[in-house]
Amino acid sequence: MSAYGAARRTFLLALAALALTAAPALAKGLKVERLDVVTAKGAYHFKVEVADTFATRERGLMFRTRLAPDRGMLFDFKIAQPVSFWMRNTLIPLDIVFIAPDGRVVSIAANAVPHDETPLPSAGPALGVLELRGGRAAEIGLSPGDRVRHRIFRR
């Protein structure tokens, strides 16, 4: 192999490695905000990444390998509508919490299975969707009718 060919091969391998490591880093540009969940067990505080564009909502928590108990992602759909999620390219189980415009929990898809492409629909129009680590909703006693407090929901 010529020196040019070797240099080209090294460059292409470095580019491929950069692409693989950059995928999870794309979320670093998302805003992180406080979100509170109020259940019969009490109030719980989370730091959530806000996915409020088509591109950030489409990517969501794909390719993540972990999610801390006090972290999550809030999807802002701007208008209330029936929504459906799936777990394509999602590596960890998630609780998917569908939230009405007034902050009331409409429904929860608990412990969604990684890589499963079965649609998980809301039980009614949702303005936002909160994704938490799988099992976290049960740990805090979150259920339909409970309240989520964040700037996107009217009180």
User: Residue 16 in 3-state DSSP?
Assistant: helix
Q: Which residues, at least 6 apart from 65, have a Cβ–Cβ distance to it below 8 Å?
A: 24, 91, 92
Please tell me the distance from the alpha carbon of residue 44 to that of residue 142, in angstroms, as a whole number: 10
Q: Over the stretch 14-59, which tens digit does the pLDDT of each residue have?
A: 434 434 333 343 455 799 999 999 999 999 999 999 999 999 999 9
Report residue 134: phi and psi, to 5°.
Answer: -55, 130
What class has domain 24-149?
A: mainly beta
pTM value is 0.82
Averaged pLDDT, 88-92 = 97
Spatial contact of 74 and 35, defined as CB atoms under 8 Å apart: yes
Domain ranges of the chain: 24-149
